[in-house]
Amino acid sequence: MLEEYLVILFVKLAVSASLASIFARPAAIQRLLLLEERTLSQRLRLALAFTIVFGTGVAIRVVSRNNYQAVDIGLEGALLAGLVAGYVTGLVSGLLISLPAMLLNGELLSMPLFAGLGVMGGLLRDLAPDKEEIWRFSPFFDLGWLRLVRKQATYRHVFFQHVCLASILFAEFLRFNLAHNFGAKYLFVIYPGWPDAHLLTVAATYGTTVFTVTLPLKVWNTIRVERKLESQQVLLTEARLAALARQINPHFLFNTLNSISTLVRLDPDQARNMIQKLASIMRRLLRKQENVTPLREELAFIDDYLSIEVVRFGDKLKIEKKIDPSTLDCAVPSMLLQPLVENSIKHGLSSKVEGGRIWIESALANGMLLIAVEDDGVGIAEDRLATLFEQGIGISNVNERLKVLYGNEFRFSVMSKVGEGTRTEIEIPATVFAAATPPALPSQPVAASRA
């Protein structure tokens, strides 16, 4: 008899872990578990979720005529509801979870007991020194004192852990004595041979109740930590992109102002015209906050930039475009082309007395957008080409932004021959730009592919 009872208790622990996993599977519930303060509507939705998951176990036990006793963890569910979400959720969950037992089996004491324990869970939540301490609950009280010795907790934290443990034991004590005093028909218990139960049976029962409450807290806390890490990774990625964008803009501004400075004394009118163009570019940059933009806007930005450089170089600088009209609405990273065009002018053409030509191309192939910037400048030496992605602001910045935005789903290659010129190609997934729904950021950036 004792062995059978212990098996039931072990199965109860397994059911507790399984129901906790089922409870937290919907993304909406995961989001609610991340919140520390919830609206009334959110508390009621959590109460409904607790009722569906833990109330189903009660209903199965009642319908099966106590053949599946281990699936009934309604008392622990009500206490958990209050502990995780407060009075309202605990009270409503306790009332609803007890309905199958009360209505179908006449267990009249289940409703006031479950509702009261739900409220007690809410009281424990208010007692917590901080809400994270609820998720740190452990039945091993020595861990609290160890945290205190290591100065990772205060006496108030340790006290809360002890009060939580005592409250769970009190809940089981209350159920045991209510069933003993009023009769098992009014409240479900699974103790064999009570009130003369073996000491080991009583200890196992109380211990099972404690761990039946602890296991869901640990399962849900693991999910919470994972969700928080994912959220922080997205925030980190966005911050990284913003930092890279801020790195490009001052670099571009510095080089453009250098170009303007050469004309201030020689041709003030042209210098004034360039300043107006620069002001137009800066207004565009200040308005743009997105990480991606339509290719047509990126090309318009390049036109403004090149209009400044054409003033500087005059007829020595020629621009040719071969743009596929179907690519104009494709989403590309903001400020993608400007560093590449700037490199072609600064490193490829500026040292050529006769000037040169820049080609800008775009095309679609196999669901990928191909963008190329080519010049007929002086080219790049082979030894420098091998380390190009680690040197300079322009190329390394573009490569880093592509890596953050597209993971390994892009190609960024630079091909060059000394004396003949340089061709830079970027291949990214072709997606239509939508301002309201920018491409999702990967949770973990991976290395870029290079041709």
pLDDT in tens, 145-158: 777 787 777 888 88
For residues 292 and 332, the answer to whether their CB atoms sit within 8 Å is: yes
Tokens of 261: 């400075």
Cα distance between residue 201 and residue 208, in whole Å: 10
CA angle centred on 208, ends 78 and 11, rounded to 5°: 95
Cα distance between residue 161 and residue 139, in whole Å: 8
User: Is 411 found in the same domain as 360?
Assistant: yes
Where among 231, 251, 277 does a domain terminate?
231
Q: Count the neighbouring beta carbons within 10 Å of the beta carbon of residue 331.
A: 25
Domain annotation covers residue 91: yes
User: Is 417 found in the same domain as 273?
Assistant: yes
Phi-psi region of 437 (alpha: psi -120 to 50; beta: other; left: phi over 0): beta
User: Is 276 found in the same domain as 338?
Assistant: yes
Domain annotation covers residue 445: no
Q: Count the neighbouring beta carbons within 10 Å of the beta carbon of residue 178.
A: 18
Tokens of 58: 């009660």
User: Is 14 found in the same domain as 53?
Assistant: yes
Q: Into how many domains does the chain fold?
A: 2
Distinct helix (H) and strand (E) counts, the chain: 16, 7
Cα distance between residue 433 and residue 331, in whole Å: 4
Which letter does DSSP use for residue 233 in this model?
H
Q: Count the neighbouring beta carbons within 10 Å of the beta carbon of residue 346.
A: 16
Which letter does DSSP use for residue 380 in this model?
-
User: Is 184 found in the same domain as 76?
Assistant: yes
User: Is 223 found in the same domain as 268?
Assistant: no
Taken as a whole, the chain contains a residue count of: 451
pLDDT 10s digits, 335-351: 788 888 888 888 888 77
Residue 337, SS3 per DSSP: helix
Cα distance between residue 114 and residue 101, in whole Å: 11
Q: How buried is residue 438: exposed, middle or buried, by Cβ count under 10 Å (0-12/13-18/19+)?
A: middle
Cα torsion 4, 7, 13, 19 to 10°: value is: -80
Residue 350, SS3 per DSSP: coil
pLDDT 10s digits, 202-246: 888 999 999 999 999 999 999 988 888 877 776 666 666 565 555
Tokens of 221: 């806390």
Cα distance between residue 72 and residue 49, in whole Å: 16
Tokens 């000394």 found at:
418
Domain annotation covers residue 40: yes
What's the CATH number where 361 sits? 3.30.565.10
Cα distance between residue 74 and residue 218, in whole Å: 18
Domain annotation covers residue 12: yes
Name the helix (H) or strand (E) containing 217.
helix 199-261
Q: What does each of the 451 residues of the chain score in pLDDT, given as a tens digit? A: 677 888 999 999 999 999 999 999 998 998 898 888 889 999 999 999 999 999 999 999 999 887 889 999 999 999 999 999 999 999 999 999 999 999 999 999 999 999 999 999 999 999 999 888 899 888 887 777 777 787 777 888 889 999 999 999 999 999 988 988 888 889 998 876 655 567 778 888 999 999 999 999 999 999 988 888 877 776 666 666 565 555 555 666 776 787 778 778 777 887 888 888 788 777 766 665 567 889 998 898 888 888 877 776 777 888 999 999 999 999 998 878 888 888 888 888 877 778 889 999 999 999 999 999 999 988 888 888 877 776 656 787 788 888 878 888 899 999 998 889 999 999 999 998 775 444 444 444 333 333 3
Domain annotation covers residue 146: yes
Percentages (nearest 5) of helix, strand, coil residues in the chain: 65, 10, 25
Name the helix (H) or strand (E) containing 413.
strand 411-417
- Spell out the residues 6+ positions from residue 85 whose beta carbon is closer than 8 angstroms to its own: 32, 38, 43, 46, 47, 125
Q: How many Cα atoms sit within 13 Å of 62 on the Cβ side?
A: 24
User: Is 175 found in the same domain as 66?
Assistant: yes
Phi/psi at 326 (nearest 5 deg)?
A: -70, -10
User: Is 297 found in the same domain as 200?
Assistant: no
User: Is 75 found in the same domain as 7?
Assistant: yes
Cα distance between residue 283 and residue 401, in whole Å: 22
Q: Domain span at residue 52?
A: 2-231
Where among 175, 210, 231 does a domain terminate?
231
User: Is 208 found in the same domain as 276?
Assistant: no
Domain annotation covers residue 437: no
Q: What are residue 113's DSSP bridge partners?
A: none
Tokens 């160890």 found at:
146
User: Is 277 found in the same domain as 199?
Assistant: no
Cα distance between residue 96 and residue 110, in whole Å: 10
Q: Count the neighbouring beta carbons within 10 Å of the beta carbon of residue 334.
A: 20
Q: Count the neighbouring beta carbons within 10 Å of the beta carbon of residue 175.
A: 22
Cα distance between residue 164 and residue 370, in whole Å: 61
Domain annotation covers residue 64: yes
Domain annotation covers residue 368: yes
User: Is 273 found in the same domain as 222?
Assistant: no
Tokens 């099972």 found at:
208
